[in-house]
Amino acid sequence: MAAAAAAKVQEVREITRIERVGAHSHIRGLGLDDSLEARHVSQGMVGQVSARRAAGVVLQMVRDGKIAGRAVLLAGQPGTGKTAIATALASALGYDTPFTSMAGSEIYSLEMSKSMALTQAIRKSIGVRIKEESEIIEGEVVEVQIERPAAAEGTKVGKLILKTTDMETVYDLGGKMIDSILKEKVQSGDVITIDKATGKITRLGRSFTRARDYDATGQQTRFVQCPEGELQKRKEVVHTVTLHEIDVINSRAHGFLALFSGDTGEIKPEVREQINGKVAEWREEGKAEIIPGVLFIDEVHMLDIECFSFLNRALENEMSPIVMIATNRGITRIRGTTYKSPHGIPLDLLDRLIIIPTVPYDQKELQEILSIRCEEEDCQLSDEALTILTRISMETSLRYGIQLITTSSLIARKRKAPEVQMEDVKRAYELFLDEGRSVQFLKEYQQEFMFNENDEDESQMEIN
Q: Which is nearer to another protein, 172 or 453 (CB)?
A: 172
Cβ of residue 282: shortest distance to another protein, in angstroms? 8
Site for another protein in 240-279 (CB under 8 A): 241, 246, 249-250, 252, 255, 258-260, 275, 278
Please check whether residue 324 is in contact with residue 86, taking contact to mean a CB–CB distance below 8 angstroms.
yes
Cα dist. 68→60, 114, 286, 291, 302 in Å? 13, 22, 20, 11, 24
- Compute the least distance from the CB of residue 139 to another protein, in Å: 11
The single residue among 96, 143, 168, 318 that binds another protein, judged by CB under 8 A, is 168
CB of 246 to another protein, least distance (A): 5
The side-by-side arrangement of strands in the sheet containing 353-357 is: 99-103, 294-298, 322-327, 71-75, 353-357
Stretch that binds another protein, among 25-33, 83-91, 156-164, 441-449 (CB under 8 A): 156-164
Phi, psi dihedral angles at 35 (to 5 degrees): -90, 20
CB of 283 to another protein, least distance (A): 13
Instruction: List the end-to-end C-alpha distance of the chain, in Å, as a whole number.
Output: 65
- Candidates 22, 78, 149, 174; binder of another protein (CB under 8 A) is 174
Minimum CB distance to another protein, residue 372 (Å): 36
Stretch that binds another protein, among 157-165, 346-354, 398-406, 414-422 (CB under 8 A): 157-165
Q: Which residue stretches of 17-102 are H helix?
A: 49-64, 82-93
Interface pick for another protein out of 50, 109, 145, 165 (rule CB under 8 A): 165
324, 72 in Cβ contact below 8 A?
yes
Positions in 125-144 near another protein (CB under 8 A): 130-133, 137
Q: Is 169 in the site for another protein (CB under 8 A)?
A: yes
Residue from 16, 198, 363, 380 touching another protein (CB under 8 A): that is 198
Q: 330 vs 44, 334, 348, 352, CA distance in Å? A: 28, 11, 17, 18
Phi, psi of 222 (to 5 degrees): -110, 135
What residue type is assigned to position 108 of the chain?
Answer: Y
Pairing of strands 190-195, 201-207: antiparallel
Using the contact rule CB under 8 A, the part of the chain among 74-82, 124-132, 216-224, 443-451 near another protein is 124-132
Residues 6+ apart with CB under 8 A from 280: none
Q: Is 378 left (phi over 0), alpha (psi -120 to 50) or beta?
A: left
Cα separation, 261 vs 259, in Å, equals 6
Residue selected from 9, 12, 57, 167 as contacting another protein according to rule CB under 8 A:
167
Tell the smallest beta-carbon distance from residue 251 to another protein (Å). Answer: 8
User: Which CB atom, from 19 or from 133, has the smaller least distance to another protein?
Assistant: 133
User: From CA 279, how far away is CA 19, in angstroms rounded?
Assistant: 36
Q: Tell me: does residue 196 bind another protein (CB under 8 A).
A: yes
Does residue 384 interact with another protein by CB under 8 A? no
In terms of phi and psi (left: phi > 0; alpha: psi -120 to 50; beta: otherwise), the region of 340 is beta
Size of residue set near another protein by CB under 8 A: 41
Window of 31-39, 161-169, 324-332, 375-383 that interacts with another protein by CB under 8 A: 161-169
Q: Which of 29, 39, 68, 171 binds another protein (CB under 8 A)?
A: 171
Taking a C-beta distance cutoff of 8 angstroms, is the pair 91, 28 a contact? Answer: yes
Site for another protein, residues 276 to 315, rule: CB under 8 A: 278, 287
> Rounded to the nearest whole angstrom, what is the least distance from the CB of residue 268 to another protein in the complex?
14
The answer to whether 349 touches 316, Cβ cutoff 8 Å, is: no
DSSP 397-448: -HHHHHHHHHHHHHHHHHTT-SSB-HHHHHHHHHHS--HHHHHHHHHHHGGG
Q: Of 29, 199, 205, 357, which one interacts with another protein (CB under 8 A)?
A: 199
Exposed, middle or buried, 94 (CB in 10 Å: 0-12/13-18/19+)?
Answer: exposed
Q: Which is nearer to another protein, 137 or 388 (CB)?
A: 137
Rule CB under 8 A: choose which of 37, 147, 230, 263 binds another protein: 230
Single-letter amino acid code for the residue at 235: K
Positions that interact with another protein (CB under 8 A):
130-133, 137, 159-160, 163-177, 194, 196-199, 229-230, 241, 246, 249-250, 252, 255, 258-260, 275, 278, 287
